[in-house]
Amino acid sequence: MATVVASGADRKSSERKFYSRMALFLVFLVLLGFGPSFYLKGVVPPTPGPIPVFRQQ
Amino acid sequence: MILHGAVFTLWMAVIVTQTQLIAARKHEVHMRLGKLAFLLAILMIPVMYLTAVWQVARANQPPFTDPLTWTIVPLAVIIPFAILIWNGWNKRRDVQTHKRLMLSAAIVSVMGPAIARLPLAPPTVVGFTILLLLGLMLFVPLILWDRKTIGAVHPATKLGFSMAALTIAVPLAVYWLNLPWAKIAGHLPGVSA
């Protein structure tokens, strides 16, 4: 029984880690993608990706 | 478009906070914040639309397209995002379904805009296609997780993947099949070319 409870707890723990890491990875991608054009505009040079950098008029 | 950036930054902050609250077993706070997050997600829908149509006047599109045709890229995200958010809210008591739908909604809102800005491919239709397909790969960890934990792909993951595929299939169809989307986009409320 103790083993079953422990494995259940382990499963929940891994599940929490998985979703936390996925969320953090998405934030990392947002910072990487929008860094040059939004978050770090003027600090780092713009990148030549398919979508042009954010332009304000 | 500072508002657009602020709203989406807040959305990403909420996604991370919600996963951290669950990891810290603060379910009550998670549920209370979830109500506000749902309202934020609803607010994001008109913001997505306005961002799409207002960029026409700024001509903020890549060199391989025109401003009106380019509106299909952000507009194609709106309905899939809304479907995922709505289902995620309705299934909030079904934990396994809820978390997959919310993660899928986060992926759908991020995969195109963030990954397509990475300098990994040339600013051409082919380069854009490669980056969109790369964005779809964000579902691979979730699919692998499902197979590892439940032995099959969860129906919510299938819905999330389908919605994500739709967000890229629609613009790719417009570009690869030369569909006359610009003629329709020219009549959209808010468009001022």
Q: DSSP string covering chain B, please?
A: -HHHHHHHHHHHHHHHHHHHHHHTT-HHHHHHHHHHHHHHHHHHHHHHHHHHHHHHHHT---TTS-HHHHTHHHHHHHHHHHHHHHHHHHTTTSHHHHHHHHHHHHHHHHHHHHHTTSTTS-SSHHHHHHHHHHHHGGGHHHHHHHHHHTSS--HHHHHHHHHHHHHHHHHHHHHHTT--HHHHHTTSTT---
**Count of CB pairs separated by less than 8 Å, A with B:** 103
Distance CA B50, CA B175 (A): 22
Judged by a CB distance cut-off of 8 A, whether residue A22 touches chain B is yes
Judged by a CB distance cut-off of 8 A, whether residue A23 touches chain B is yes
Determine whether the interchain pair A52/B123 forms a contact, defined as Cβ–Cβ distance below 8 Å.
yes
How far apart are the CA of A4 and the nearest CA of chain B, in angstroms?
15
Q: What is the pLDDT of residue A52?
A: 52
pLDDT tens figures, B42-90? 999 999 999 999 999 988 788 889 999 999 999 999 999 999 999 999 9
Q: What is the pLDDT of residue A23?
A: 95
Query: Is pLDDT above 50 for A3?
Result: no
Distance CA B21, CA B56 (A): 40
Q: What is the pLDDT of residue B63?
A: 87
- Which member of A22, A29, A48 has the closest CB to residue B141? A22
Distance CA A31, CA A8 (A): 35
Query: Is pLDDT above 50 for B152?
Result: yes
From the number of C-beta atoms within 10 Å of its C-beta (0-12, 13-18, 19+), residue B93 rates as exposed
Which has more pLDDT, B98 or B113?
Answer: B98
Q: What is the pLDDT of residue A1?
A: 44
- Average pLDDT, rounded, for chain B: 93
Query: Is pLDDT above 60 for B126?
Result: yes
| Probe site for chain B from A10, A12, A22, A55 (most B CB atoms < 10 A) | A22
Determine whether the interchain pair B116/A47 forms a contact, defined as Cβ–Cβ distance below 8 Å.
no
Q: What is the pLDDT of residue B188?
A: 95
Determine whether the interchain pair A16/B22 forms a contact, defined as Cβ–Cβ distance below 8 Å.
yes
pLDDT tens figures, B82-95? 999 999 999 999 99
Task: For residue A19, give the chain B residue with the closest CA.
Answer: B19
pLDDT band at A13 (very low <50, low <70, confident <90, very high): confident
How far apart are the CA of B141 and the nearest CA of chain A, in angstroms?
8
Task: For residue A45, give the chain B residue with the closest CA.
Answer: B119
Judged by a CB distance cut-off of 8 A, whether residue B127 touches chain A is yes
